[in-house]
Chain A
Amino acid sequence: GENVEQHPSTLSVQEGDSAVIKCTYSDSASNYFPWYKQELGKRPQLIIDIRSNVGEKKDQRIAVTLNKTAKHFSLHITETQPEDSAVYFCAACNTGNQFYFGTGTSLTVIP
């Protein structure tokens, strides 16, 4: 099946700085890449997604880039705030509509 790798596993940034999380995937047929934010004990919440026919997508402070050739995609959060602190997961969706998740990044924004 698909193998999704995510880095870094932990990330601490000062409030106002940017945070970048990177993921790679193995299945070239994967064509949909969502990012989820999960707070402790809660369900994952979709924050942004990108499809394979797009290279970049932005939503306010959050942006995602996709390089299909290299099979990697990244999440960029600008002007970080303490409430951005959570665990972030990338995922790759294959043609069977199965989602495979990265190992997660624990983001801490220091006030």
Chain B
Amino acid sequence: GAVVSQHPSWVICKSGTSVKIECRSLDFQATTMFWYRQFPKQSLMLMATSNEGSKATYEQGVEKDKFLINHASLTLSTLTVTSAHPEDSSFYICSAGGHVNSPLHFGNGTRLTVT
């Protein structure tokens, strides 16, 4: 149980375009999902907390207009990287947990390459 599906797994796009990443909880409902960013050989940096039916909560230093998050249902959260630039190239991972203080379940991650 507790499967989180993330798509796409890899995307290459040109500078200036927008990219949407989907995160789905397949067998449980997730009122909260989390989006992380990971640079090579570095840790997972929490970008934002996605709340179903309300606005996402962004960590300090993360531009909310750059990284648009929508959590329209209990099983789907999307992250849109708007007007992507090469410095946005990274590994983006979503996660969800069923209950407070229980393990996070991660999606497979999306490798974004902006050329």
Contact = CB atoms under 8 A, between A and B. Distances in A.
Interface of A: 1, 6, 31-32, 34, 41-46, 49, 51, 87, 89, 91, 93, 96-104, 106
A85 B9 CA distance: 24
B67 interface: no
Contacts of B44: 44, 89, 101
A98 B36 CA distance: 11
A8 to B, nearest CB: 14
Contacts, number: 55
Interface of B is mostly: loop
B45 to A, nearest CB: 8
B7 to A, nearest CB: 13
Nearest to A51: B101
Given A98-B46, A98-B49, A101-B45, 14 more contacts: A1-B60, A6-B43, A32-B102, A34-B103, A41-B109, A43-B108, A93-B101, A99-B46, A99-B95, A99-B104, A100-B46, A101-B43, A102-B43, A104-B42
A36 to B, nearest CB: 8
A97 B32 contact: yes
A39 to B, nearest CB: 12
Given A34-B103, A97-B101, A98-B49, A43 B109 contact: yes
Interface string B53-77: 0000001100000000000000000
B114 to A, nearest CB: 18
A39 B106 CA distance: 13
A91 B104 CA distance: 10
21 contacts: A1-B59, A1-B60, A31-B101, A41-B109, A41-B111, A42-B108, A44-B93, A46-B104, A49-B103, A51-B101, A87-B41, A89-B43, A97-B97, A97-B100, A98-B49, A99-B34, A99-B95, A99-B104, A101-B44, A103-B43, A104-B42
Contacts of B106: 43-45
Nearest to A43: B106
A34 B60 contact: no
